[in-house]
Amino acid sequence: NFGYYPEKGGITLVISTHLNKIVKFNELNQTVTVEAGMMGPAFEEALNNAPELYGVKHKFTCGHFPQSFEYSSVGGWFITLSSGQQSSYYGDAGDLVLGVEMISPSGDIITKEYPATATGPKVLDIIKGSEGIYGIVVELTWKIYRHKPENRQYFGFIFPNWDAAVNASREITQGEFGMPAVFRISDPEETHHGLKLYGIENTIFDKLMTIRGYKSMERCLFLGSADGEKQFTKNIKSKVKRICKKYGAMNLTSFPVKKWEPGRYKDPYLREDIMDYGIVIDTLETGVSWDNLHEVHQQCRAFVKSRPDTICLTHASHFYAQGTNLYFIFIIKENDIKAYTDFQEGLLDTIQKSGGSLSHHHGVGRMISKWMPEHLGENQINVLRALKKHFDPNNIMNPGKQLING
């Protein structure tokens, strides 16, 4: 997101100005080879218009839509292990890449584009998530999906409480009938604000929810959509509906998700302006298994709410049969930077102690590197140090990121 700077002097490379094209379209393999600096919107537009632009038969989609989509690059997605808002169906960025070319101080690496290979350990996997500390990824081979927006099915429900929303979500992800693409459940506090933001407050839905006993600060919102072949998406919708009903949910139709969708990249825009008034909106997020989701959620919320006048909104939006993520948005009044970073560090400590991953999809960067030795343990950190030494013996590639002191 152009937010980086050469902390220890040196050069910042901006590759989005020159390395920004699709260089190979392979419809047979359903892949494209793309230069790493191509930005999200240009990439998706090219794939959606592939028949006219590349003379292929079908329209395609990249399937990857992080909230930062408008201002992030294909190479950035891969190198930070990013997750898009439709990842429950399409997969995370790490799953979507078949091969890369990386230029590093110790030489060029080109990994071949097999759909699968047992020639492990895979160097491609080593490069995933390396955030530029080994080298610069210049080209990637990306898996693409057929673009069929006409088949998309939307759904929305309100659950009586968080337990019901979590249990229904687990049953959906473990039901083996196909995954929704957008799949998002909000905890009671996020639901409280979400109902206002998505224009549900004071509608007929709001009245019905109240009449039927879905209480404010207990009820939980579920937004979803399904992508893919027509019967597949219809089937997902009907199965989701049945499961939600079983857990006491009321159907809100497609109304909330269609309200959410147009603003899905824009919510953070307000953040910078509000900061001028001493109000900080920030986020931390974590990956959790089903069996520790509640523990992590409760401990992190308790930490955030122990600070007076703090809003803490939580949702889960990337689902797997084995678990999900928890995304904490906190809104606090604070003008003192040290007090703010102390608060942020306290929440990271709480995530770590409660058993969550230090990040589900934001990555490590500089902010989290301090927690990495405890998170991974000495033996794993030694492996990462050895790799760093191999690729970048003089520690010139993004020094200070991921690993303290290289």
User: Which of 25, 43, 77, 343 is in the footprint of ligand FAD by CB under 6 A?
Assistant: 77
Compute the half-sphere exposure of residue 18: CA atoms within 13 Å on the CB side of its CA.
4
Q: Which is nearer to ligand FAD, 45 or 163 (CB)?
A: 45
Contact partners, residue 169, CB within 8 Å, separation at least 6: 183, 185, 222, 316, 319, 324
Residue 96 C-beta: closest distance to ligand FAD, Å: 12
Under the criterion CB under 6 A, does residue 328 sit at the interface with ligand FAD?
no
Under the criterion CB under 6 A, does residue 287 sit at the interface with ligand FAD?
no
Under the criterion CB under 6 A, does residue 362 sit at the interface with ligand FAD?
yes
The footprint of ligand FAD on residues 6-35 (CB under 6 A) is: 15
CA distances from 376 to 95, 195, 326 (A): 22, 39, 20
User: Which of 31, 61, 73, 111 is in the footprint of ligand FAD by CB under 6 A?
Assistant: 73
Strand 311-316 to 250-251 pairing: unpaired
Under the criterion CB under 6 A, does residue 223 sit at the interface with ligand FAD?
no
Under the criterion CB under 6 A, does residue 318 sit at the interface with ligand FAD?
no
R_g of the chain computed on alpha carbons: 22
The answer to whether the CB of 37 falls within 8 A of the CB of 15 is: yes
User: Which of 31, 33, 72, 225 is in the footprint of ligand FAD by CB under 6 A?
Assistant: 72
Q: Which is nearer to ligand FAD, 124 or 252 (CB)?
A: 124
Under the criterion CB under 6 A, does residue 83 sit at the interface with ligand FAD?
yes
Residue with smallest beta-carbon separation from ligand FAD: 76
Under the criterion CB under 6 A, does residue 82 sit at the interface with ligand FAD?
yes
Q: Which is nearer to ligand FAD, 131 or 227 (CB)?
A: 131
Q: Which is nearer to ligand FAD, 7 or 291 (CB)?
A: 7
Stretch that binds ligand FAD, among 165-173, 193-201, 235-243, 361-369 (CB under 6 A): 361-369
CA distances from 44 to 48, 65, 324 (A): 6, 9, 26
Contact partners, residue 295, CB within 8 Å, separation at least 6: 354, 355
Q: Which is nearer to ligand FAD, 225 or 299 (CB)?
A: 225
Give the phi and the psi of residue 39 in degrees, each rounded to 5: -85, 155
- The C-alpha atoms of residue 263 and residue 241 are separated, in whole angstroms, by 25
Q: Which is nearer to ligand FAD, 75 or 160 (CB)?
A: 75
Structure tokens at 115: 């759909």
Q: Which is nearer to ligand FAD, 67 or 350 (CB)?
A: 67
Under the criterion CB under 6 A, does residue 86 sit at the interface with ligand FAD?
no
Stretch that binds ligand FAD, among 62-70, 173-181, 219-227, 377-385 (CB under 6 A): 62-70
Cis peptide before 121 (omega within 30 of 0): yes
Maximum distance among all Cα pairs of the chain, rounded to whole angstroms: 67
Q: Which is nearer to ligand FAD, 239 or 361 (CB)?
A: 361
The answer to whether the CB of 329 falls within 8 A of the CB of 190 is: yes
Stretch that binds ligand FAD, among 204-212, 239-247, 251-259, 355-363 (CB under 6 A): 355-363
- The C-alpha atoms of residue 280 and residue 42 are separated, in whole angstroms, by 31
The three-state secondary structure class of 324 is strand
The footprint of ligand FAD on residues 146-205 (CB under 6 A) is: none
User: Which of 41, 263, 268, 393 is in the footprint of ligand FAD by CB under 6 A?
Assistant: 268
Stretch that binds ligand FAD, among 104-112, 116-124, 129-137, 166-174 (CB under 6 A): 129-137
Residue 215 C-beta: closest distance to ligand FAD, Å: 30
The three-state secondary structure class of 263 is helix
Under the criterion CB under 6 A, does residue 88 sit at the interface with ligand FAD?
no
- The string of DSSP letters for 18-78 reads TS-SEEEEETTTTEEEEETT-BHHHHHHHHHTHHHHH--SS-EE-----TTGGG-BHHHHH
- The C-alpha atoms of residue 115 and residue 212 are separated, in whole angstroms, by 50
Residues at the contact surface with ligand FAD, assessed by CB under 6 A = 1, 4, 15, 36, 66-68, 72-73, 75-77, 79-80, 82-83, 131-132, 136-137, 268, 361-363, 398, 401
